[in-house]
Chains A and B, each alone.
Chain A
Amino acid sequence: MAPQYLPPRILERILERLTPPLEQEPLIGDFQETFSRLALERGRVCALVWYIGCVLRLLIILVKTTLIWRLEMVKKDIKMAVRQMTKHKGYSGINIFGLAAGLACTLFILLWVQNELSFDRFHKKARSIYRVEQDQKTSEGIFHVWDVPFVLGPALQAEIPEIKNYARSFRYLRGQLVRYGEKVFYESVVGAVDPSLFQIFSFPFIQGNADTALKQPSDMIISETMAEKYFGRENPIGKTMTLNNNYPFTVSAVLKDTPPNSTLQLHIIVPMDFLKTIGRYHEEWGSNSTTTWVEVDKTASIKAVNEKITRLVRDRRGKSAQESRQEFMLKPLLDIRLNEIFGYCQRLGSLQYVRIFSTVALFVLLIACINFMNLSTARAANRAKEVGMRKVVGASRRIVARQFYVESIVTTSMAALLSVVLVLLLLPVFNSIAGTQIEISRLFQRNYFGGILAITVGAALLSGSYPAVLLSSFHPIRVLQGKLKSGAKSALFRKALVVVQFSLSILLLISASVVFRQLNYMRTKELGYDKEHLVYMQMRGETRKKYETLKEELLKSRYVVSVTGSSLQPSRLVGDTGGGADWDGKDPDYQVILGVSFVDFDYPETMKIEMAAGRTFSREFSSDRGGTYLVNEEVVKLMGIDAEEAVGKRLDFVMDGTIVGVMKNFHLQSPREAIEPRVFLIDNSELNFVVVRLQAGNITAAVEDVKRIWQRVLPLYPFEFRFFDDDFERMYRSDERMGKILEVFTVMAFLIAGLGLFGLVSYAAEQRTKEIGIRKVLGASMTNIVTIMSKEFILWVITANLVAWPLGYLVMRKWLQGFAFRTGIAWWLFAAAGLGTLAVAFAAVGFQTIRAARTDPVKALKYE
């Protein structure tokens, strides 16, 4: 007997599908017989090719005969949909525009959310990279920082086996004078890192490579932009750049510019050892001054590693560790953007906004979908006859439903298209409001585009299903007899939807106005100092030694009111904190963390800070040069005494001294931060900044004058200054931005909801033309009619208000708790939101009702 060859099972299965069931057995048999004969005569491959050919040919025939006909049906549905749309241009316009606006909002928000979520994910090892952070426990609570000792990194790698690698990165060295040939700039983006950073993180190199880039102590890595800035078209590799006129470096590699969604931003990179050269490196275990990144074994338990680090530091610090109880923990790199925490539980991460905006996106989309559902069902009565006719001539419920689904898909697709166009057009605007750098290409990335498609289809199904189910359920006979009035049930549902829609809008409105008020409050609240006409300059290198001369010269100018100095950036008093303060009558177990600022005489006077008690620094007391403290009210509060009592108290913190004065609280932090307890003392050798109060009036001339003086005293150093107001703006920017986004989307939500209401009302007016006509004939006045028409709609809106108020209150109370300084939620906000929505509702309703009421009753009655 001939050996038997069998065609592949899968192909046979397909073939079975393609053959008519009655003749399936003999036909498949015929195919197989031919197959095995071909295999025998010409080989298996040939037979296989033949078999596949047969299957394909049959498939093509099937597609031709069946699918095309089905498509033809869908084509018909689409044609019907387009006819419906062109016939009722107003409704379709409202539908499409409303949906498009809703979708565009959603797309923007998704883009933003995705941008936030994408932070740092481009590193290949992102999942196993952690930052070492620590909690410092004080009596005030837990103070969280992500600076750790320089010596921690090497010890971690040596002693904890789970930690595979470490890299330290020092925050930017501010104000470095960078020189290449003739080109000299101040750069505040010079960073010092360990070479291993490039093994842990995957920053792409353009020239040079990760292994050798920072090998030599004089190696330097620069970014593409920096290379452009200093070298133009020259090849930067091997060229020498000088830092602060003193330290030559050789460019060994060029990095591709760090993407905006990276936590670490690299511009000019020098080896960690440079910090030793300039004396910024500290060997002590008690000094927390660098960021340390570690790569942890994937299988390791993070909790166990945390404990090991804490124990390690405790052992190394020995006795001193007992004083400030530290606990170390690893923070996943991917968690930093969303969940960054600093200080006393300040949440700097954007998780909160990611959540808020995702909810907002959902709301706006929902509002837009509800519009669609409402308008479609409202028109049900008009289309009932159409449905009845279709059913009479033989359409099944399924076919009728499909018609409505296709209609909603056509509408949503058009809306989706429009929304993509809107997003493309408005993306630059959005970027500037949100402060992001989202590129247009992001929109067309595979997963994002898939998202758009999913949302569109989802919205189409969501908004199409209710009308489809409702309208397809009509009984043809009753419909054609004209007995169907838009049923009470569907009217109730519609009302409920409008209430939901307006509740959501009101919720957004209340939230937006609370946010706005909070932002406004933060902007205008009593700062405790006068930020107008206040500028500061940073002193670098040699300039410090000339501080006294500079001050003297500046004070001679008629534009300058007063001059002082500060060790910290004067517009943002953060950092330089420490524990171990002691004073008379302090409970020895009481742990506090105080901040310290070194200043010059005239500090409170220049800043215009008021004194709560005691005196300011004075040249008449020689002890004031480093022997006395000014403190802010927070310190006094910590000590548990009155301001008056504090004056004259002994305080041992930086040195053993006396408190001579208490300054009223002044706010030089971000709005979320509470005012830190801080002490001030005079030490001119620690000053890094000159603070100058200018005469109000001609500020430009004043700045010019200051510049002239600076150049005379310090001819070698370029003059750079900053206004306090500018820094102030900067600190508030991120919250301002979020507020702006929220505002825009609230307006959009209202617009869409209002549009929907407008559509509903105009429909209702059309429906009731006859009724209105009869009422008018019987003597109803225009006011009567407008009242009758709008009463119902207004009632819905009021209900929506009642639903939204308590929700809004709860949500906003929660949000405000994130701020150290916050406003209350005023009752009138709710009233205003209510009035606002009523106004929108009236605008939507009024126009239509008045038009309906003004029509000539004769025309109204004659129209059939």
Chain B
Amino acid sequence: MKGLTRKEELILLTIRALDRDAYLVAITDHLASAVGERMTLPSVHVPLTRLEKMGYIASELGEGSPVRGGRRKKIYRITKAGYRALNEYKRISENLWEAVSSQTGRKD
């Protein structure tokens, strides 16, 4: 498993949450509401490119809409490798949290 940054992990998670409608603007919006801070489009786009390159996500061109000037969306979808990686990250952090809570429990 290739290493992911925190940002990439969050984006991957967002794509998974958005399911079928994960394109750049939607991802950015979702992240903004979850994190509470808005990122710029390019700063989201760069990790997306990297994730795609590493094979965690795949993309295809969707439909256009008038609000986009008729331009098509690039819709991202999570791959099997992506799922595995997310689960792996989740497991790691749960393990770590468990250790934390048992420790605090003992202390209290």
A interface residues with partner B (beta carbon < 8 Å): 1-2, 4, 6, 23, 25-34, 36-37, 54, 57-58, 61
Contact = CB atoms under 8 A, between A and B. Distances in A.
Contacts of A23: 74
Contacts of A34: 25, 28, 41
A807 B23 CA distance: 79
Which size bracket describes the interface of B in this complex? 10 to 19
B67 to A, nearest CB: 5
Contacts, number: 55
Interface string B41-81: 11001000000000000000100111111011110000000
A57 B41 CA distance: 11
Nearest to A20: B49
B95 interface: no
A4 B74 CA distance: 21
A2 B45 contact: no
Contacts of B64: 29
A29 B41 contact: no
16 contacts: A4-B67, A25-B61, A26-B24, A26-B72, A26-B74, A29-B71, A30-B24, A30-B25, A32-B68, A32-B69, A33-B67, A33-B68, A34-B25, A34-B41, A36-B67, A54-B42
In the A-B complex, the 8 residue pairs with the closest CB atoms: A29-B71, A26-B74, A29-B68, A30-B24, A33-B68, A32-B69, A25-B71, A30-B25
Given A29-B73, A34-B25, A1 B66 contact: yes
Nearest to B71: A29
Contacts of A32: 67-69, 71
Interface in B1-59: 23-25, 28, 40-42, 45
B66 A4 contact: yes
A25 B41 contact: no
Nearest to B45: A27
Contacts of A61: 42
A721 B68 CA distance: 94
Interface of B: 23-25, 28, 40-42, 45, 61, 64-69, 71-74
Given A27-B24, A33-B25, A34-B25, A2 B67 contact: yes
A399 B69 CA distance: 43
A36 B42 CA distance: 18
Task: State the majority secondary structure of interface residues on A.
Answer: helix
Given A4-B67, A26-B24, A36-B67, A31 B41 contact: yes
Nearest to B24: A30
B40 A26 contact: no
B71 A26 contact: yes
**Which of B28, B41, B68 has the most A CB atoms < 10 Å from its CB?**
B68
B2 to A, nearest CB: 22
Given A2-B67, A4-B66, A33-B68, A26 B23 contact: yes
Given A4-B66, A30-B24, A33-B25, A54 B71 contact: no
Contacts of A28: 69, 71
Contact of B69 (A2, A6, A37): A6
Contacts of B45: 27
**Which of A6, A28, A31, A58 has the most B CB atoms < 10 Å from its CB?**
A31
Given A26-B23, A26-B24, A26-B61, A54 B40 contact: yes
A518 B14 CA distance: 95
A2 B28 CA distance: 21
Nearest to B27: A30
A36 B65 CA distance: 12
Contacts of A57: 40, 42
A693 to B, nearest CB: 97
